Chain A
């Protein structure tokens, strides 16, 4: 089997087949369940509020996906180092690039599982509202580059910082900073700094697209810039991860 596929399979197996990985997925599912159950109490929601709810769920799924990605990413290289399995991995007939691409494959599987896990929730809160299909499509379209970007950032930090705790803490700080638009309302982001932050932040690009598509029913043509921001983020983080793994010291 291709070494990249082999490493990706091992990474995916740790998430899907280990008790620890399944416990993470359980925790994420419980968070989404609690969020959904909180919404049940309000049965007088208008259609607009329903769209708002779907938007909230999409933002939460992306944030949770990012959280899962940085946790998985931070463990990739530094975790191997701490478990003493990095040296055997480097001595195996695989290049550093193949290792990092394999680890990235694990991230792709992790996000795919998270995305599939979120679909019943998106359906449950949004099937009688507006733009359900768009919600599902745009969650994949924008959520994927944003979440994988966080995962690749985790891999890069994991290779550079040499221990899981430092890599995880730094990744989480970055994640919290970038997901702050979920907490700050649009009015708080109207200052010059806020606008710049919104324009450059890939997470803002994702949530603003969700807002635009689900609540305001705007077309794909209006999301191009945001999609480009998310793709640049993904490409930049992928390049950083590859470079960090290639240049890491044993």
Chain B
């Protein structure tokens, strides 16, 4: 019985070692910078700062970290193509020594209104799974960009001015005659 218990404990210990081997070698943090607007609207810039740290006892190689954005509005849940939001979508680092940190700023321009969740993912050559930062949620207020109040006066006013010029010209010609 004692032997069986010992074997079980040893098994658990070995399993623990295996799990430790699959643990994250990189720790990734993500926070919005203090200068971000408190209630951002379309067109504003937001910046997020992440620190990617090698928390393992050995160097990691081929580190790649990238930003992902997901819209989380009810009924509109979808990943967002960052093409127009950010030109800074990923960073790479050839080697990250034990304890070494890589600090990265992720600026983005808010293109569309809605509720969003941003996350940084990182991989290295040694680890077989992706390591992620905590989520940061933010909401983008709508900003009407094509306003009828602005277009209507122009759309009606410009032709009206030209019509007025035509009428004035005809009136003057008739007056002369």
**Contact residues of A with B, CB < 8 Å?**
17, 19, 22-23, 25-26, 29-30, 32-34, 36-37, 39-40, 42-50, 53, 117, 120-121, 123-125, 127-130, 215
Contacts and interface: CB of A to CB of B under 8 A. Distances in A.
Contact of B43 (A45, A53, A117, A130): A130
A29 B43 CA distance: 30
Given A46-B112, A47-B42, A47-B43, A22 B146 contact: no
B148 A40 contact: yes
Q: How large is the interface on B (under 10, 10 to 19, 20 to 34, 35 or more residues)?
A: 20 to 34
B6 interface: no
Contact of B111 (A37, A48, A120, A125): A48
B147 interface: yes
Contacts of B175: none
Looking at B111, B152, B155, the one whose CB has the most chain A CB atoms below 10 A away is: B155
Query: Residue among B146, B151, B154, B159 with the most chain A CB within 10 A?
Result: B146
Given A40-B151, A46-B42, A121-B154, A22 B162 contact: yes
A22 B158 CA distance: 12
Interface in B32-70: 42-43
Interface string B138-177: 0000111111101111111111001101100110000000
Contacts of B154: 33, 36, 120-121, 123-124
Nearest 7 Cβ contacts at the A-B interface: A33-B155, A50-B145, A46-B112, A124-B154, A40-B148, A26-B162, A120-B154
A46 B156 CA distance: 25
B162 A25 contact: yes
